[in-house]
């Protein structure tokens, strides 16, 4: 019995291995066979469009971190993008100068939040899935790897979540950043602090020791020194840290403000530890974690924490292109049953950037669309969008700026997120000092 | 640097050290009894965290009551893992058990990510703070220390005062000889793996009462457990507590003298050096 | 000389060559990228097999050689403007040097202690590099896009790295076979079977083990340079990802450790399977199958370890006597 079971398993495993190995030569055919099938299923949905015009489908390709450490941010971004696509297609697509109408379809793969296969998957998107436009993976390192492929094949790529400025200083010509760059993530919170308390002078910077956070705080420190602040501590912590006591013990007791953080999990834990340790800073501003709705799970420790956000539902811009904030929020809620986060808004904005470029260019020609995106200068529900077109920083986002949120208490004592900066978009006064 | 700062750092170090200690205890016990490095240890710690989280926020059960339930589930799960994945390869070259436990790790992490995503969770539970001179101590951390000491005492009593405990130590010393003496080694091994897993689940449950976590959080404690193992003596579950305290104090005090990001470098170099000089661990006995 | 006529050697070489050259003849970039991933895995597995399969020492943190080599190469290119081939050699040499320095010390440890020590080394190097300013500290090293110009643009540069990885994998197979059939290799295998006996029989075990470690570290160092050059940037977290080491171990286990063909087949099978799972559109209930790829990989691995510990090639050799003459 045992023996036959053993043989059965062995045969099964060998079979699956053999299948996998034999699959190798078939690699190009499989996706090619899938593509028409996918197109065919899309077609009936579009048949209501009255257009007698010729229809074209532009494919937008990207990878997303469906598994791995970045899957939450990535999934929301995906949803936002999908919403844009559905809305554009439902509205009949984008008309071109020659009378054809462009509709959109997307193709994406899981990159597992690691670099191993990013280039493989982007090449596959371009050469086998015939993607016309690309959207970057979520983090800077992954985006850099995919940018090499985008440039090589002359595809326009919009980056979302690839915040580091350095990506745009590498000499790419077709890569466009939808988000505010890392160098401007926390500088605004310094302006906010100056506005709240001109006497505040001492700042402690505590940040995750990775590329994104280090880029952010390097710019922050330079800006702080320029503004006459005294940076009394600038320390990193290893990614994945949960015990912040040792680093908090190094923060001088008389510090006015604490700034820094890193990503989601560590930022949340850091805020919690600051409260547990009874740190008496008057102002705390952290990266990434505070804008997330689940940040409030840490309870009173969240009170007073400020954080930069690419977008907030509350900040009402008057868009000259695309939906208003309220329309976007309503549509997103209807489609996905949750409040949109800035990742979701960013995904939608990436779609808008492409749409506007194609509309202006009136064609799908890369050079024409590139010229159109270069000249984009628009106000969307996501905020101002404009790109640096110099050779040194091509594609860097220069229009968009961060909004800063603070967790405050409403009349019933429940934690609510308020926009406190910039002043023209604020929904509440800054609570200062928080201790 | 003043005396107050050093005292605070020292106490913080001891408090996290206790947590490291209980996190490493299960790994150490399993290694000691069956020479298996359990690479699923971190994932099991994460499961303990989610166990307490789900019982507390789902059913409103007190976290410490949940902990008891989670511990029992951990015991059962450990026995199950042993029977399914370890028993067959327990006498094979050690690579087999390393990879078998790693496969379990992949399965748990994979299922956990699909079910819970990797958004951090926090049970939002507090017992308030205790002020002691310059020190601010969290209630949950103090209780965690208390629970750890109690669990250590129980484990000690169990290993040294009960018949089953003596069997475990006998199997740990020399499995073949123990079998000749009529000790049912298969059952003892399964039980030991179960207890090791139970300790991981308890550690996770305790950590969840004061830290935010994701399904990947346990991994950190697994890594620390290796270091603790060589500090306190691999294979000696009680040495884990001592090793944990040493590591905790190092992590608490070292950052006062150097940039914080250099601390892990020191830790790992220390780990390699001790491993080379005395593989059985700084405080370990026989080789 | 007779060993070079063995069909098993030619079979393995042919598989690697066929895999490697298919994209070259079809000029298909998609196939090239898939090929790169597979050949990279094959070379990693074949290299690791020298210390793990032949010598019996499981280097769990082997990715340290890949990461450190990659970093060194990127540093040479970025700071000194070194041409790619030189950077690749530099990366390989640095890794070999690290292995040489470490070898005498940590190879004294046996069994699981050695495995633990290699994990420690990887973490120590990773955390060190994250603090090491010449390597960019936490931000790593980034290459300007223009760096590809001297190789004829990004497209040609990607082809160039691909030729590089073909050359390395072909070399890896030949070199691994050479070791396996040499007197030195026999010494290694006697260490694997019984180290104390090997010593008594006159094998100078510390030297032999160190050399095996150096040989198995050299190629991963070169591979790291190719991979990160192609990606245009390197950061500590992706250079020293422990999961990558463990994947290499799994590939060897799948195919059969200690054999020549095993790691090749294992790497090929594993990467194809992962690739298929990642790009599959299948669903399990309401969740996509992709969400479970880690679970599936884990289950497959568990089954192999429990039921076919010798791996595919080992199992075939045990089962069918005539295959022993064909498979090595």
Cis peptide before C52 (omega within 30 of 0): no
With CB atoms and an 8 Å threshold, state whether A276 touches B254.
no
What confidence score (pLDDT) does residue B278 get? 80
Residue-wise pLDDT for C160-191, tens only, equals 999 999 999 999 999 999 999 999 999 999 99
Residue B218 lies in a domain: yes
The yes-or-no verdict on residue A166 having pLDDT over 70 is yes
The yes-or-no verdict on residue A313 having pLDDT over 90 is no
Q: What is the 3 state secondary structure string of chain B? A: CCHHHHHHHHHHHHHHHHHHHHHHHHHHHHHHHHCCCCCCHHHHHHHHHHHHHHHHHHHCCCHHHHHHHHHHHHHHHHHHHHHHHHHHHCCCCHHHHHHHHHHHHHHHHHHHHHHHCCCCECCCCCCCEEEECCEEEEHHHHHHHHHHHHHHHHHHHHHHHCHHHHHHHHHHHCHHHHHHCCCCHHHHHHHHHHHHHHHHHHHHHHHHCCCCECCCCHHHHHHHHHHHHHHHCCCCHHHHHHHHHHHHHHHHHHHHCCCHHHHHHHHHHHHHHHHHHCCCCCCCCCC
Q: How many residues does chain B have?
A: 287
Q: What is the SS3 assignment for A334?
A: helix
pLDDT averaged over chain A?
85
What's the structural domain count of chain B?
A: 1
The yes-or-no verdict on residue C16 having pLDDT over 90 is yes
Cα–Cα distances in Å, from C86 out to A245, C65, C224? Answer: 46, 17, 13
With CB atoms and an 8 Å threshold, state whether C291 touches B113.
yes
Question: Which band of pLDDT confidence, cut at 50, 70 and 90, is reported for residue A59?
Answer: very high
Residue B205 lies in a domain: yes
Which of A:191-220 have CB within 8 Å of C?
Answer: 209-211, 213-215
Task: Show residues of chain B in contact with C112, CB under 8 Å.
Answer: 31, 35, 37, 94, 98
Q: Which of A9, A234, A242 has the most B C-beta neighbours within 10 Å, making it the best mutation to test the interface with B? A: A242
Beta strands, E only, C133-205: 141-142
What confidence score (pLDDT) does residue C143 get? 92
- Pick from C273, C291, C293: which is nearest to A20 by CB? C273
Question: Which band of pLDDT confidence, cut at 50, 70 and 90, is reported for residue A239?
Answer: confident
Residue B142 lies in a domain: yes
Residue-wise pLDDT for A178-228, tens only, equals 999 999 999 999 999 999 999 999 999 999 998 889 999 999 999 999 999
Question: Which band of pLDDT confidence, cut at 50, 70 and 90, is reported for residue A21?
Answer: very low
Q: Residue B64 sits in which domain range?
A: 3-224
The yes-or-no verdict on residue B221 having pLDDT over 50 is yes
What confidence score (pLDDT) does residue A40 get? 40
Q: Taking residues A14-34, report their average pLDDT.
A: 42
Task: Pick the residue from chain B with its C-alpha nearest to A6.
Answer: B88
Q: How many residues does chain C have?
A: 328
Task: Show residues of chain B in contact with C58, CB under 8 Å.
Answer: 94-95, 98
Residue-wise pLDDT for A245-260, tens only, equals 999 999 998 999 999 9
What confidence score (pLDDT) does residue B287 get? 40
**Alpha-carbon span C217 to C37, nearest angstrom:** 19
Task: Pick the residue from chain A with its C-alpha nearest to C232.
Answer: A145
- Comparing A315 with B220, the larger pLDDT belongs to B220
Exposure string over A278-304, b if 16+ CB within 10 A, otherwise e: ebebbbbbbbbbbbbebbbbbeebbbb
The yes-or-no verdict on residue A422 having pLDDT over 50 is yes
Residue B51 lies in a domain: yes
- Comparing A199 with B234, the larger pLDDT belongs to A199
**Alpha-carbon span B118 to B152, nearest angstrom:** 32
Task: Show residues of chain B in contact with A264, CB under 8 Å.
Answer: 119-120
What confidence score (pLDDT) does residue A10 get? 52
With CB atoms and an 8 Å threshold, state whether B37 touches C112.
yes
How crowded is residue A180: how many other Cβ atoms within 10 Å of its Cβ? 23
Cα–Cα distances in Å, from A336 out to A294, A313, A341? Answer: 17, 15, 12
What confidence score (pLDDT) does residue A277 get? 85
Q: Does B174 touch chain A (CB under 8 A)?
A: no
Task: Show residues of chain A in contact with B220, CB under 8 Å.
Answer: 240, 242
C partners (3+ CB pairs within 8 A) are A, B
**Alpha-carbon span B23 to B228, nearest angstrom:** 10
Cis peptide before B176 (omega within 30 of 0): no
Q: Are strands A415-421 and A403-409 parallel, antiparallel or unpaired?
A: antiparallel
What confidence score (pLDDT) does residue A297 get? 85
Task: Pick the residue from chain B with its C-alpha nearest to A75.
Answer: B117
Residue-wise pLDDT for C81-122, tens only, equals 999 999 999 999 999 999 999 988 899 988 888 988 999 999
Lowest mean pLDDT among A54-63, A65-74, A275-284, B13-22: A65-74
With CB atoms and an 8 Å threshold, state whether B99 touches C298.
no
Q: How many residues does chain A have?
A: 435
Q: Taking residues A47-68, report their average pLDDT.
A: 74
The yes-or-no verdict on residue B52 having pLDDT over 90 is yes
Residue-wise pLDDT for C237-291, tens only, equals 889 998 899 889 989 988 998 999 999 999 999 988 888 877 777 776 667 777 7
Q: Residues B256, B79: contact at Cβ < 8 Å?
A: no
Question: Which band of pLDDT confidence, cut at 50, 70 and 90, is reported for residue C36?
Answer: very high
With CB atoms and an 8 Å threshold, state whether B92 touches C309.
yes
Angstroms from B138 CA to nearest CA on chain A: 7
Q: Taking residues C141-153, report their average pLDDT.
A: 90
Residue-wise pLDDT for A346-393, tens only, equals 999 999 999 999 999 999 999 999 999 999 999 999 999 999 999 889
The yes-or-no verdict on residue A37 having pLDDT over 50 is no
With CB atoms and an 8 Å threshold, state whether A109 touches C279.
yes
Q: Does A268 touch chain B (CB under 8 A)?
A: yes
Residue-wise pLDDT for B161-195, tens only, equals 999 999 998 988 888 899 888 888 889 999 999 99
Q: Which domains does chain A have, with CATH numbers?
A: 53-180+315-386 (3.40.50.2300), 184-309+402-425 (3.40.50.2300)
What confidence score (pLDDT) does residue A36 get? 41
Burial classification of residue B150, based on how many CB atoms lie within 10 Å of its CB (0-12 exposed, 13-18 middle, 19 or more buried): exposed
Instruction: Kindly state the DSSP code that residue A387 receives in the 8-state scheme.
Output: B
| pTM of this structure | 0.89
- Pick from A31, A66, A145: which is nearest to C231 by CB? A145
Task: Show residues of chain A in contact with B13, CB under 8 Å.
Answer: 245-246
A partners (3+ CB pairs within 8 A) are B, C
Q: Does C246 touch chain B (CB under 8 A)?
A: yes
**Alpha-carbon span A73 to A64, nearest angstrom:** 9
What confidence score (pLDDT) does residue C84 get? 95
Q: Residues A150, A142: contact at Cβ < 8 Å?
A: no
Question: Which band of pLDDT confidence, cut at 50, 70 and 90, is reported for residue A42?
Answer: very low
**Alpha-carbon span A208 to C207, nearest angstrom:** 42
The answer to whether the complex's ipTM is over 0.85 is: yes
pLDDT averaged over chain B?
89
Q: Residues C144, C255: contact at Cβ < 8 Å?
A: no
What confidence score (pLDDT) does residue B130 get? 84
**Alpha-carbon span C117 to C213, nearest angstrom:** 14
Q: Taking residues C75-86, report their average pLDDT.
A: 95
């Amino acid at each position: 019995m045992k023996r036959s079971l053993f043989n059965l398993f062995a045969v099964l495993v060998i079979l699956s291995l053999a299948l996998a190995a034999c699959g190798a030569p078939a690699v190009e055919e499989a996706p090619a066979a899938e593509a028409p099938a996918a197109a065919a299923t899309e077609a009936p949905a579009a048949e209501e469009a009255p257009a007698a015009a010729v229809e074209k489908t532009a494919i937008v390709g990207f990878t997303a971190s469906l598994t791995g450490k970045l899957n939450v941010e990535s999934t929301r971004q995906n949803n936002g993008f999908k919403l844009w696509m559905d809305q554009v297609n439902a509205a009949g697509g984008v008309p071109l100068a020659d009378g054809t109408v462009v509709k959109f379809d997307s193709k994406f793969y899981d990159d597992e939040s690691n670099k191993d296969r990013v280039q493989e998957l982007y090449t596959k998107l371009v050469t086998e899935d015939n993607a016309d436009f690309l959207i970057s993976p979520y983090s800077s390192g992954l985006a850099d790897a995919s940018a090499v492929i985008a440039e090589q094949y002359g595809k326009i790529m919009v980056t979302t979540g690839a915040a580091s400025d350095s990506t745009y200083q590498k000499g790419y010509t077709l890569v466009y950043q939808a988000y505010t760059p890392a160098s401007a993530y926390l500088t605004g919170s310094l302006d906010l602090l100056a506005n709240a308390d001109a006497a505040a002078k001492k700042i402690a910077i505590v940040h995750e020791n990775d590329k994104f956070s280090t880029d952010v705080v390097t710019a922050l420190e330079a800006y702080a020194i320029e503004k006459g602040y005294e940076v009394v501590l600038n320390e990193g912590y290893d990614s994945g840290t949960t015990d912040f006591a040792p680093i908090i013990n190094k923060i001088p007791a008389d510090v006015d403000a604490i700034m820094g953080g890193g990503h989601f999990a560590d930022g949340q834990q850091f805020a919690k530890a600051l409260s547990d340790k009874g740190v008496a800073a008057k102002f705390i501003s952290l990266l990434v974690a505070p804008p997330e709705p689940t940040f409030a799970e840490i309870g009173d420790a969240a009170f007073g924490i400020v954080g930069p956000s690419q977008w907030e539902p509350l900040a009402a811009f008057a868009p000259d292109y695309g939906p208003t904030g309220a329309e976007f929020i309503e549509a997103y809620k209807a489609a996905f049953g949750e409040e949109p986060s800035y990742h979701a808004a960013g995904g939608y904005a990436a779609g808008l950037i492409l749409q506007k470029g194609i509309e202006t260019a009136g064609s799908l020609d890369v050079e024409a669309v590139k010229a159109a995106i270069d000249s984009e200068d628009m106000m969307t529900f996501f905020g101002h969008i404009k790109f640096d077109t110099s050779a040194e920083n091509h594609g860097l986002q220069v229009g968009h700026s961060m909004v800063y949120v603070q967790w405050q208490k409403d009349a019933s004592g429940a934690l609510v997120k308020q926009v406190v900066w910039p002043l023209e978009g604020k929904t509440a006064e800054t609570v200062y000092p928080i201790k | 640097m003043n005396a107050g700062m050093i005292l605070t750092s020292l106490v913080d170090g001891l408090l996290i050290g206790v947590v490291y200690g209980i996190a490493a205890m299960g790994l150490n016990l399993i290694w000691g009894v069956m020479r298996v490095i359990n690479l699923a240890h971190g994932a099991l710690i994460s499961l303990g965290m989610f166990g307490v989280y789900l019982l507390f926020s789902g059913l409103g059960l007190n976290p410490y009551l949940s902990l008891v339930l989670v511990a029992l589930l951990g015991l059962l799960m450990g026995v199950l893992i042993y029977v399914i994945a370890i028993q067959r390869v327990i006498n094979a070259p050690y690579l087999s058990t390393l990879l078998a436990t790693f496969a379990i790790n992949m399965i748990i992490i994979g299922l956990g990510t699909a079910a819970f995503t990797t958004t951090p969770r926090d049970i939002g539970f507090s017992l308030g703070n205790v002020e002691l001179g310059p020190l601010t101590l969290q209630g949950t951390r103090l209780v965690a220390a208390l629970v750890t000491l109690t669990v250590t005492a129980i484990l000690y009593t169990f290993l040294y005062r009960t018949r089953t405990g003596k069997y475990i130590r006998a199997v740990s010393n020399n499995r073949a000889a123990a079998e000749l003496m009529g000790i049912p080694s298969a059952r003892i091994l399964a039980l030991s793996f179960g207890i090791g897993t139970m300790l991981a689940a308890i550690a996770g449950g305790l950590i969840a009462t004061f830290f935010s976590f994701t399904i990947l959080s346990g991994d950190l404690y697994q890594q620390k457990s290796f270091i603790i193992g060589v500090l306190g003596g691999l294979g000696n579950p009680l040495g884990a507590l001592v090793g944990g305290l040493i590591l905790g104090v190092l992590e608490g005090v070292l950052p006062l003298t150097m940039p914080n990001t250099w601390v892990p470098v020191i830790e790992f170099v220390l780990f390699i050096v001790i491993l080379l000089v005395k593989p059985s661990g700084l405080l370990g006995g026989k080789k | 000389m007779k060993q070079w006529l063995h069909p098993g050697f030619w079979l393995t070489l042919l598989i690697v060559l066929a895999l490697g050259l298919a994209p070259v003849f079809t000029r298909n970039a998609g196939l090239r990228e898939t090929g790169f991933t597979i050949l990279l895995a094959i070379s990693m597995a074949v290299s690791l097999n020298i210390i793990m399969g032949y010598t019996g020492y499981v280097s769990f943190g082997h990715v340290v050689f890949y990461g450190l080599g990659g970093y060194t190469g990127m540093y040479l290119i970025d700071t000194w403007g070194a041409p790619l081939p030189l950077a690749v050699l530099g990366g390989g040499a640095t890794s070999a040097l690290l292995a040489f320095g470490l070898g005498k010390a940590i190879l004294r440890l046996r069994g699981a202690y050695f495995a633990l020590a290699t994990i420690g080394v990887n973490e120590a190097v990773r955390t060190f590099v994250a603090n090491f300013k010449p390597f960019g500290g936490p931000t790593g090293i980034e290459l300007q896009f223009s760096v590809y110009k001297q190789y004829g643009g990004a497209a040609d540069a990607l082809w160039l790295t691909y030729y590089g990885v073909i050359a390395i994998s072909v070399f890896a197979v030949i070199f691994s076979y050479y070791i396996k059939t040499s007197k030195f290799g026999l010494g290694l295998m006697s260490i694997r079977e019984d180290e104390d006996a090997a010593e008594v029989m006159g094998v100078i075990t510390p030297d032999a083990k160190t050399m095996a470690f150096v040989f198995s570290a050299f190629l991963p160092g070169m591979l790291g340079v190719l991979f990160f050059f192609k990606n245009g940037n390197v950061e500590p977290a992706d250079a020293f990802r422990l999961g990558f080491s463990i994947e290499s171990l799994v590939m060897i286990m799948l195919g059969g450790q200690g054999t020549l063909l095993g790691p090749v087949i294992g790497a090929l099978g594993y990467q194809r399977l992962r690739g298929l799972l990642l790009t599959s559109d299948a669903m399990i209930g309401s969740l996509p199958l992709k969400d479970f790829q880690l679970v599936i990989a884990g289950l497959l691995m568990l089954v192999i370890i429990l039921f076919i510990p010798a791996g595919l090639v080992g199992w075939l050799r045990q089962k069918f006597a005539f295959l022993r003459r064909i498979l090595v």
